[in-house]
């Protein structure tokens, strides 16, 4: 009799344990807050003083602050591709920065970070910037917009298609444009303007614009701001840039609230701090740095709202919160917003050289924070990790066995992410779409011959000659002393290694 009761008792106790809040047996929720164009030096916890980021700094103090964490590429689309697929972007054609009417570049059905977590029982959601293409060919913005996030592993999606400076300037929830009046259908073109729609060249008095361009961004004028690409229709659905951060934050909080009773994965890809920098009026003037600095404060407020929500729902203890960015910082990226003139002593890339678009460290070394109170002790880690490792590492944490064939570059660096190991990867490949590849191996950094952008915009362009550049990051984090001539064997070794990795995954 007693023996027969035991299994029931076990199941009863298991059910009680499973129902308890913050139960350790439940897989952790995962919230990945992915900033846009935020540099290594843009947060207080990485040395910024001209901008205050108390919420990000709080998370850093309660978790691990990484000093050698990388995105895969120095621009948006390729980094985001890598983050979700576990594959370096240079292995696939078509992964460079996409126009807003591009087709989906992730093959539906392939293993992704969200699909593996979904398979592990997670509810998966994306809120914010997508920029990985939508549809199989030409998208009908007035019908069902697919395939997209829902076809590559997300249960819920509330996104902008591409970037704030590209059309279409509308939100898309799951498969539909939000707030679209069917009597005012949307058309999008990246080739020619639509008759009767205001475009940049029509605006002779530039003071009538909310923000003028410095280069490009002179196609459709929407909300007083020039964009890349043309669109017509959908007037009721157009976003207002100054409200975007609040809209995405609200959607993120709603997702957490809806899914709080099961493990969830939220990929919150913020609009901040990508150009055009248009913070909500309550953040205007919060820094001496103009709109770019103010959008960092807006990003921090979004982080604060998410942390508060997790606290209110008693989810913080067993939720992993990761904060990072998709590429390095940029000042003048196409709008006259005072970013260069007002930057003052602030160093957007901290002590690193270069920024967005660059293969110098500023292009791809990212702020990277991991907080998980139930398991992770606060600290600082110098382990080398890459965002391309998140799919395999988080999937393994959730009990999945990712296939290295489908996620060829995603290494399991979970011990480093959780602070249980001081080492992560031995080397990482870094990419800039108009430059080529670079390799970090231990403290050595090799940049292959090819094009190079210098500066944070406007840029100087140069060509790196054979045999490339070599730096010792342990003594020269700012990549100022090229050691190539003095170390011919080392540079040959690294060039060979880079070639091997780029030809053969997981070497």
User: Is residue 285 helix, strand or coil?
Assistant: coil
CB of 131 to Ca ion, least distance (A): 8
Query: Strand pairing partners for 447?
Result: 438, 469
Is the Cβ–Cβ distance between 248 and 157 less than 8 Å?
Answer: no
Q: How far is the CB of 36 from Ca ion (least distance, A)?
A: 4
CB of 335 to Ca ion, least distance (A): 15
Q: Which is nearer to Ca ion, 60 or 76 (CB)?
A: 76
Q: Are 87 and 78 in contact (CB under 8 A)?
A: no
What is the nearest approach in angstroms of Ca ion to the Cβ of residue 71? Answer: 9
Nearer to Ca ion, 180 or 244 (CB): 244
Closer to Ca ion by Cβ: residue 269 or 397: 269
Residue nearest to Ca ion (CB): 76
Report, in Å, the least distance between residue 358 CB and Ca ion. 13
Whether residue 331 contacts residue 340, with contact meaning beta carbons closer than 8 Å, is answered with yes
- How many angstroms separate the CA atoms of 132 and 24, rounded? 35
**Residue 70 near residue 385 (C-beta atoms within 8 A):** yes
Please, what is the end-to-end C-alpha distance for the chain in angstroms?
58
* CB closer to Ca ion out of 36 and 87: 36
Helix/strand/coil percent split, the chain, to 5: 30, 20, 50
- Taking the complex as a whole, the smallest distance from the CB of residue 497 to Ca ion amounts, in Å, to 28
- Give the footprint of Ca ion on this chain (CB under 5 A): 36-37, 76, 326-327
As measured in angstroms, the least distance from the Cβ of 124 to Ca ion is: 22
Q: Which is nearer to Ca ion, 402 or 435 (CB)?
A: 435
Q: How far is the CB of 79 from Ca ion (least distance, A)?
A: 7
Residue 21 phi, psi (nearest 5): -65, 150
Helices (H) and strands (E) in the chain, counts: 10, 20
Nearer to Ca ion, 85 or 381 (CB): 85
The number of CA neighbours under 13 Å toward the Cβ of 38 is: 31
* Pick 46 or 264: Cβ nearer Ca ion: 46
Q: Which is nearer to Ca ion, 273 or 306 (CB)?
A: 273
Query: Measured from the CB atom, is 97 or 473 closer to Ca ion?
Result: 97
**Least distance to Ca ion, CB of residue 202, Å:** 29
Tell me whether residue 241 or residue 326 sits nearer to Ca ion (CB atom).
326
Tell the smallest beta-carbon distance from residue 48 to Ca ion (Å): 18
HEC-encoded secondary structure of 115-167: HHHHHCCCEEEEEEECCCCCCCCCCCCCCCCCCCHHHCCCCEEEEECCCCCEC
DSSP output for 200-263? GGG---GGGSSB-BSSS--SBEETTEE-BSEEES-GGGB--GGGHHHHHHHHHHHHHHHHTTS-
Check whether the bond before 273 is cis (ω within 30° of 0).
Answer: yes
**Distance from chain centroid for Cα 217:** 22
The residues that bridge with 379 in the sheet, in sequence order, are 64
Nearest alpha carbon to residue 162 among 78, 97, 225, 237:
97
Is-contact 346 456, C-beta < 8 A? Answer: no
* Nearest to Ca ion of 364, 410 (CB atom): 364
């Amino acid at each position: 009799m007693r023996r027969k009761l035991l299994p029931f008792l076990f199941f009863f106790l298991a059910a009680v344990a499973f129902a308890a809040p913050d139960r350790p047996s439940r897989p952790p929720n995962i919230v990945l807050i992915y900033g846009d164009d935020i540099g290594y030096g843009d947060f207080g916890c990485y040395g910024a003083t001209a901008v205050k980021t108390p919420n990000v700094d709080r998370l850093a103090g309660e978790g691990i602050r990484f000093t050698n964490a990388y995105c895969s590429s120095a621009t948006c689309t390729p980094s985001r591709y890598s983050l979700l697929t576990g594959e370096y972007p240079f292995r696939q054609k078509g992964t460079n920065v996409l126009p807003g009417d591009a087709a989906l570049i992730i093959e539906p059905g392939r293993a992704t970070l969200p699909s593996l977590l979904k398979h592990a029982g997670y509810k998966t959601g994306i809120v914010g910037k997508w920029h990985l293409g939508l549809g199989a060919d030409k998208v009908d913005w007035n019908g069902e917009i697919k395939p997209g996030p829902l076809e590559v592993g997300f249960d819920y999606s509330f996104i902008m298609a591409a970037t704030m400076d590209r059309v279409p300037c509308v939100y898309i929830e799951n498969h539909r444009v939000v707030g679209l009046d069917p009597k005012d259908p949307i058309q999008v073109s990246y080739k020619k303007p639509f008759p009767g729609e205001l475009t940049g060249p029509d605006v002779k008095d530039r003071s009538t614009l909310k923000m003028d361009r410095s280069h490009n961004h002179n196609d459709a004028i929407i909300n007083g701001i020039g964009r890349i690409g043309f669109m017509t229709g959908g007037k009721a659905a157009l976003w207002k840039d100054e409200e975007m951060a609040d809209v995405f934050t609200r959607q993120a909080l709603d997702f957490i609230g809806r899914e709080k009773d099961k493990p969830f994965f939220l990929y919150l890809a913020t609009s901040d701090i990508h150009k055009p920098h248009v913070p909500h009026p309550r953040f205007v003037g919060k820094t001496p740095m103009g709109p770019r600095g103010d959008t960092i404060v807006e990003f921090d407020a979004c982080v604060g709202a998410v942390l508060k929500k997790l606290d209110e729902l008693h989810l913080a203890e067993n939720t992993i919160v990761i904060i990072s960015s998709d590429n390095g910082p940029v000042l003048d990226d196409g709008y006259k917003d005072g970013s260069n003139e007002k930057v003052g002593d602030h160093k957007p890339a901290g002590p690193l050289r270069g920024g967005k678009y660059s293969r110098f460290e500023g292009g791809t070394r990212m702020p990277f924070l991991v907080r998980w109170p139930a398991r992770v002790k606060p600290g600082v880690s110098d382990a080398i990790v890459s965002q391309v490792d998140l799919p395999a590492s988080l999937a393994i944490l959730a009990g999945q066995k990712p296939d290295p064939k489908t996620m060829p570059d995603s290494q399991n660096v979970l011990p480093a992410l959780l602070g249980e190991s001081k080492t992560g990867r031995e080397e990482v490949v870094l990419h800039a779409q108009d430059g080529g590849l670079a390799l970090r191996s231990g403290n050595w950094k090799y940049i292959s011959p090819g094009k190079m952008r210098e500066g944070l915009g406007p840029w100087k362009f140069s060509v790196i000659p054979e045999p490339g550049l070599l730096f010792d990051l342990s003594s020269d984090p700012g990549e100022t002393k090229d050691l190539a001539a003095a170390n011919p064997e080392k540079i040959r070794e690294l060039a060979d290694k880079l070639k091997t990795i780029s030809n053969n995954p997981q070497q």
